[in-house]
Chain A
Amino acid sequence: MAGALAARPALARWRGCVVPLLALLACELAWRAHPMQSDAVAPPSAVLRALVVALGDGSLARATAQTLLASLGGLLLGAGGGLLAGVLLGLSRPAAASAGLLIELLRPLPSVALIPVAMLVFGFGYRLEIAVIGFAVFFPMLLLAHAAVRTVPARLTEVSAVLGLSLTAHVRKIVLPAALPRLFVALRLCVGIALVVAVTTEIASNPQGLGYALLSAQQSLAPDTMLAVLLWVGCIGWGANAGLLAVERRCFGAMQVGGGAP
């Protein structure tokens, strides 16, 4: 019984791989049937070979570390600041009212438009990238954290007032735990944004990380390496999301079963 139940999702997961694998196989066969010289595409086998080479010589690992480090720095700064500001605005209506206009003015600015400015201020390197990523994730985190705090049941705030909890105890023991499932969704969103902006910044101007690896493969007319890096970037994004999802299920799965938390 348990075996049948376990087998079904596993089977479904493998079924999902059938179409992509068939498509890759078709590409490979088509390439073999009509080999051509191209600066833009390469057969799956060549891409796989390039991926193995890049993984083997450590260049991909170094680039990955650079991109992830910059993303992490940007997330800590931007999402951390956004969380703080969002919680503050969620707790205080006057603060939310007075910051509203400023936020609405700054928020629509595309973060990548800040690259030239950030480059002048910080030069190349981590600081440039962290600043741009930080700006990109600050506003989504701020808005979602604000909304998450506003959804904390009024009854719980009342309980906290009647018990005489201090403001810090109220935030630590009532607001943050109540908002945590929503804050985690916000974090997942911000991680996705951070990776996109990191790679974009590296392609546009910052000579480090996966984006730059992609760019230099393109410029040295090595489509197999370029596509290998692209594939790898996809894997990183997928892996980050899957990891966060697993953490989310582990931490809040039990809470959502009973409908205790929204």
Chain B
Amino acid sequence: MSAGAAQLRAVPVTGSAAALISFDEVGLDFGVRRIIHRLSFALRPGEIVSVVGPSGCGKTTLLRLVTGLLRPTRGAVHRDGRPIDGPARDVAIVFQDYANALLPWRSVAGNVSLALEAAGLPSAQRPARIAALLAKVGLAPHADKFPRQLSGGMQQRLQIARCLAQEPAILLMDEPFGALDAMTRQDLQDEMLRLVRESGTTVLFITHDLDEAIYLSDTVIALRANPGEASSLARTFPVHLPRPRQQLATREAPEFLRLRRQAYDYLLETH
């Protein structure tokens, strides 16, 4: 622990010293195309941050930078003050296309098991952990079914359960509820908030839905497409809404409506 603290002091970190993840002047080009430019922001432990912006503004790319699957062209992404150099077992990612992200030949329990196997958990301890995780996301009665036998919402719950099996310190979510119907989406939003609050997980949430971003987050970050010489970070909206959030009460709160208006106006202006 003290070694980690020493490391923190040794490496200069922009923003808060308590940042779990910090983007420091990050830039990324795909060939000659500039996707992200001079992006700086920090993610504090336990925080939920949403990223919104037009398509092609590098939202998904941003997540891939945190997983370490992609390296920045300029600047650095730090975790606990150290540059991220590859995937870590406690960084989980929920993909939007749950159907492709689940293994169709494994049962519901088998899909959760994959994460436990990757973590090297002895097989004797797996069934209990799997049962607990499936109960958490409400899939306990479906443990023996296969993904194709589940509805879209249930498949996404399964993917979330697999991510929770990694006991993530950081949960990355790439438009996870975008393909679901409105009711299922609201259910899953609340369930996600509950699960994340229980475990104190830090969340970086990508969405194109402004309402969803405000409803879930402590901070909403708006990105700019084709940044050119400007920073990719177009604007930051702090969200001061009480928790736990409630689908009706929160969405009717004057502060919610004010933020929504502000963010919409801003995004319209910049298009």
Contacts and interface: CB of A to CB of B under 8 A. Distances in A.
Given A161-B87, A163-B166, A261-B105, A173 B117 contact: yes
Interface stretch (B93-101, B192-200, B219-227, B261-269): B93-101
A165 interface: yes
Contacts of A258: 104, 146, 148-149
Contacts of B158: none
B174 to A, nearest CB: 11
Interface in A58-102: none
B114 A173 contact: yes
Given A155-B100, A260-B147, A260-B148, A163 B118 contact: yes
A196 interface: no
A29 interface: no
A156 B146 contact: no
A243 interface: no
A25 to B, nearest CB: 49
A177 B102 CA distance: 13
B105 A162 contact: no
Contacts of B103: 156, 173-174, 177-178
A161 B69 contact: yes
Contacts of A156: 100-101, 103
A260 B93 contact: no
B121 interface: no
Interface in A118-163: 153, 155-156, 158-159, 161-163
Given A159-B101, A162-B67, A163-B87, 14 more contacts: A155-B97, A155-B101, A158-B69, A163-B89, A164-B87, A164-B88, A169-B117, A174-B103, A177-B103, A178-B105, A258-B148, A260-B105, A261-B104, A261-B105
Contacts of B87: 161-164
Contacts of A158: 69, 95
Contacts of B93: 162
A173 B117 CA distance: 10
Interface string B76-93: 000000000001110111
11 contacts: A156-B100, A162-B69, A163-B115, A163-B118, A164-B118, A173-B117, A174-B103, A177-B105, A177-B106, A258-B146, A260-B148
A84 B97 CA distance: 31
A259 B100 contact: no
A36 to B, nearest CB: 60
Contact of A165 (B95, B100, B106, B118): B118
Contacts of A180: 105
Nearest to A252: B105
B228 to A, nearest CB: 30
B21 to A, nearest CB: 15
A258 B145 CA distance: 12
Contacts of B92: 162
Contacts of B104: 255, 258, 260-261
Nearest to B98: A155
Enumerate the 6 nearest inter-chain pairs by beta-carbon distance, A residue then B residue, closest first: A260-B104, A258-B148, A163-B118, A155-B100, A260-B148, A164-B89
Contacts of A155: 95, 97, 100-101
A153 B93 CA distance: 17
Interface in A164-217: 164-165, 169, 173-174, 177-178, 180
Contacts of B106: 177
B106 to A, nearest CB: 8
Given A162-B69, A162-B87, A169 B105 contact: no
B114 A153 contact: no
